[in-house]
Amino acid sequence: MTSEYVIKAKPQTLDDASAEARPLLEQAKANLGFVPAMYERMAIAPGVLDTYLHGYALFREKSGFTPAEQEVVFLVISRENACSYCMSAHGMLADKVSEVPADVQQALRGDQAIPDQKLAALADFTRVMFRKRGVPETTDVEAFLAAGYQERHILEIILALAVKTLSNYSNHVTHPELDEVFKDYAWNR
């Protein structure tokens, strides 16, 4: 999903970024080997990119979720927000980096039942948090905890919701082209 309106401001690249955006883009290039088109567009408002990068790093490093679980959370949120760019990017990461089983990836991309019970519980609870705007019912939480997660993970999902909302909504209004590295994982609702 993308907005009918497209922000007209020029994306910030390493060649012409503002003093505030340049270090963020340099950090991205150092970490990833390239600057994703999404980052160049988020850097139009450097605070958005800075907040995204910081929250994303904290979720990746300290959430207590495995890399595969992190991708499940990010893919569920990106699908709920109908963000083709993030579904594609996290599809590649799920496959090449986080080692999400192929059948789980396929289920997430197709909005089908996930064959792994623990990952299914994580996806279900993430959807609940998204759809109920962070107001789960006791039975929702109990099912999540019964799957082996902790109360702390509820708050970590809220962090992921914030991070993905920044990127998904930014992508909706900036329409970044899909980077070459993600093209084999292109997704459209």
Which whole number is the average pLDDT over 30-56? 97
Enter the tokens of residue 90. Answer: 């996290």
Residues making up the chain, counted from first to last? 189
Return the pLDDT at 1. 64
Whether 186 shows a pLDDT value over 80: the answer reads yes
- Tell me the C-alpha to C-alpha distance, in Å, between residue 17 and each of 21, 24, 41: 6, 10, 11
CA torsion angle for 137, 140, 141, 144 (degrees, to 10)? -170
Look over the chain and give the mean of its residue pLDDT values, rounded to a whole number.
Answer: 97
43, HSE (Cβ side, Cα atoms, 13 Å)? 25
Percent pLDDT > 70 in the chain is 99
Alpha carbon 67 to chain centroid, angstroms: 13
Whether 71 shows a pLDDT value over 90: the answer reads yes
- CA distance from start to end of the chain: 8
CB-based burial of residue 114 (10 Å sphere; 0-12 exposed, 13-18 middle, 19+ buried)?
Answer: buried
pTM: 0.96
Which whole number is the average pLDDT over 8-36? 97
Enter the tokens of residue 113. Answer: 């039942």
Which whole number is the average pLDDT over 66-88? 98
pLDDT tens for 119-159 read: 999 999 999 999 999 999 999 999 999 999 999 999 999 99
Instruction: Identify the band that residue 189 occupies on the pLDDT scale cut at 50, 70 and 90.
Output: confident
What 8-state DSSP symbol labels residue 132? T
Whole-number Å distance between alpha carbons of 98 and 120? 17
Whether 107 shows a pLDDT value over 80: the answer reads yes
Instruction: Identify the band that residue 188 occupies on the pLDDT scale cut at 50, 70 and 90.
Output: confident
Instruction: Identify the band that residue 46 occupies on the pLDDT scale cut at 50, 70 and 90.
Output: very high
Domains of the chain, by residue range, sit at 65-185
In the CATH hierarchy, which fold is given to the domain comprising 65-185? AhpD-like (1.20.1290)
Burial call 146-161: b when 16+ CB within 10 Å, e when fewer: ebebeeebbebbebbb
